[in-house]
Amino acid sequence: MVINKICCIGAGYVGGPTCSVIALKCPDIVVTVVDLSKERIGQWNSDKLPIYEPGLDNVVKQCRGKNLFFSNDINTAIKEADLIFISVNTPTKTFGNGKGRAADLKYVESAARMIADVATGNKIVVEKSTVPVRAAESIMNILRANHRPGVSYQILSNPEFLAEGTAVDDLLNADRVLIGGEDTPEGHDAIEKLCWVYEHWINRSKILTTNTWSSELSKLAANAFLAQRISSINSLSAVCESTGADISEVARAVGLDSRIGPKFLQASVGFGGSCFQKDILNLVYICECLNLPEVAAYWQQVITMNEYQKSRFSAKVIESLFNTVTDKQIAMLGFAFKKDTGDTRESPAITVATTLLDEGAKLHIYDPKVEPSQIMDDLTHPVITEEPEKVKKAVSIYDDPYSATKGTHAIVLCTEWDEFKTLDFQRIYNGMMKPAYVFDGRKILDHDALVRIGFQVQTIGKRLARPSLARIWGSCNQI
């Protein structure tokens, strides 16, 4: 095989970890990760990597400077590479046709144009970013329309299934690797070359090869299915809170059915992250464009339910605090969209914080990994607020949970960080205003122990008081 050099355009959450693991497992290949951002590349070359991911520091330390390089010299890396990953961001469009739903492909397009401008010889171009179905075709159109003599391209789709917080493990022990390509001899040859890269550590039986569109759609489908499970369990959490069933018990009973399985059934304040919402919106948009409104509406409901869950939780906080949080001090524990990451993209904490701020609350925020500047950016972003100065005055950020909770009326837990489970809640209770409230948006704390300390506790999918059967029967009779 002739893959000696790989270039990855985009040194983000996908490109960085993926290429670091490729470098670790393929010492015979030189991997160069490039990005437009000087700051990002500087961080990849420093002791403090730009993203927090368990185990990643170790992998980068082992390979950096040997067969793994981070650089802003995009042209040289493209010229020298046999295979180029496109791992740039594909955010949801915020303007124009498809606004709020379609993926914005401007970064993918600019990467494709960079390749078209400088590439020489034969290149395999691999789309790694999650892209709408048929994006490979668009990349190919750009590359072929700018064709120069002596240059040829094969485009592959090789979506990444890693989850943040477990990226290194997901990459090392992937459930499957998916590679889509053209059904031509050249296409098959390119697929084989990429298979060879992965076969350095992934068993061939786990490498699936498909046509390009199946590969692109499978990525959207996998994320849509995962998000759908969370919305399904979250919808039932509302039923539990109104009846007295416990969503954890329901999830366990349901998940023990081997056809359903136990994973992704943890009820929560809502899902976040850069992928689920974006990919489902993308799928909805594609269905609308294909004149499949019923299919579009079906998947849209997964997002609608997630929005409902976030607003239901925020409303519960306000209602419990005597229907007003104006000038109340509220501690927010966790701001990342899930544990073990510093990423806040689409974090449910942003929605909850914004609702509480709109109602006049003062927030005291602590997260073990999110940078304070990121929290402020998220809460003062023009899409979120028209009054950034007011928000800045109402938000304080702390570097430990005890200071963050001191003197507050309530704790709102938004991220399931393990360290929150072992906090000294008696000490926290002693420092809080009374009555002291805990709203556990991740259902991870020991609620009975908190109640024994004296806290008023509310959580997702479980009512701590007995349900009023009269109310249930009353409303059923009305129906």
The dihedral through the CA atoms of 3, 5, 6, 9 has a sign that is negative
**36, interface contact from ligand ADP, ligand UDX, none, CB < 5-8 Å by kind:** ligand ADP
**242, interface contact from ligand ADP, ligand UDX, none, CB < 5-8 Å by kind:** none
The least CB distance from residue 252 to ligand ADP, in Å, is: 33
* Contact flag: residue 443 with ligand UDX (CB under 6 A): no
**Which tokens is 64 given?**
């950096």
* Contact flag: residue 161 with ligand UDX (CB under 6 A): yes
| Type of residue found at 60 | V
Angle between helices 293-320 and 212-243 (to 10 degrees): 40
The least CB distance from residue 129 to ligand UDX, in Å, is: 11
Which member of 53, 127, 164, 246 binds ligand UDX (CB under 6 A)? 164
Find all residues with CB under 8 Å of 363, minimum gap 6, and list them. Answer: 330, 331, 332, 353, 356, 357, 394, 395, 396
Catalytic choice (8, 275, 287, 414): 275
Length of the chain: 479
| Residue closer to ligand UDX, measured from CB, 30 or 88 | 88
Provide the b/e sequence for 178-216 (b: ≥16 CB within 10 Å).
Answer: bbbbbeeeebeebbebbbbbbbeebeeeebebbebeebb
275 is catalytic: yes
* Contact flag: residue 162 with ligand UDX (CB under 6 A): yes
| Residue closer to ligand UDX, measured from CB, 232 or 243 | 232
The size of the interface with ligand UDX (CB under 6 A), counted in residues, is 19
* Contact flag: residue 368 with ligand UDX (CB under 6 A): no
118, 78 in Cβ contact below 8 A? yes
Cite the DSSP H helix spans in 183-275: 185-198, 212-243, 247-255
Which member of 275, 350, 428, 444 binds ligand UDX (CB under 6 A)? 275
The least CB distance from residue 240 to ligand UDX, in Å, is: 15
Which member of 115, 240, 250, 265 binds ligand UDX (CB under 6 A)? 265
- Of 39, 42, 20, which is closest to residue 31 (Cα–Cα)? 20
**Which tokens is 90 given?**
């594909």
| Type of residue found at 315 | A
**37, interface contact from ligand UDX, ligand ADP, none, CB < 5-8 Å by kind:** ligand ADP
Which member of 264, 298, 308, 398 binds ligand UDX (CB under 6 A)? 264
The least CB distance from residue 164 to ligand UDX, in Å, is: 4
**15, interface contact from ligand ADP, ligand UDX, none, CB < 5-8 Å by kind:** ligand ADP
Which member of 118, 142, 163, 394 binds ligand UDX (CB under 6 A)? 163
* Contact flag: residue 226 with ligand UDX (CB under 6 A): yes
The least CB distance from residue 476 to ligand UDX, in Å, is: 30
**271, interface contact from ligand ADP, ligand UDX, none, CB < 5-8 Å by kind:** ligand UDX
Max CA-CA distance within the chain?
80
85, 154 in Cβ contact below 8 A? no
Q: How many angstroms separate the CA atoms of 1 and 190, rounded?
A: 10
* Contact flag: residue 223 with ligand UDX (CB under 6 A): yes
Nearest-CB residue to ligand ADP? 12
- Of 47, 59, 46, which is closest to residue 19 (Cα–Cα)? 59
- Residues found near ligand ADP in the complex (CB under 6 A): 9-15, 34-37, 40, 74, 87-89, 107, 110-111, 114, 129, 274
The alpha-carbon radius of gyration of the chain (Å, integer) is 24
CA distances from 202 to 6, 139, 173, 452 (A): 18, 28, 7, 50
By DSSP bridging, strand 30-34 and strand 395-398 are: unpaired
| Residue closer to ligand ADP, measured from CB, 135 or 330 | 135
Which member of 338, 364, 443, 462 binds ligand UDX (CB under 6 A)? 338
Q: Active-site residues: which are they?
A: 275
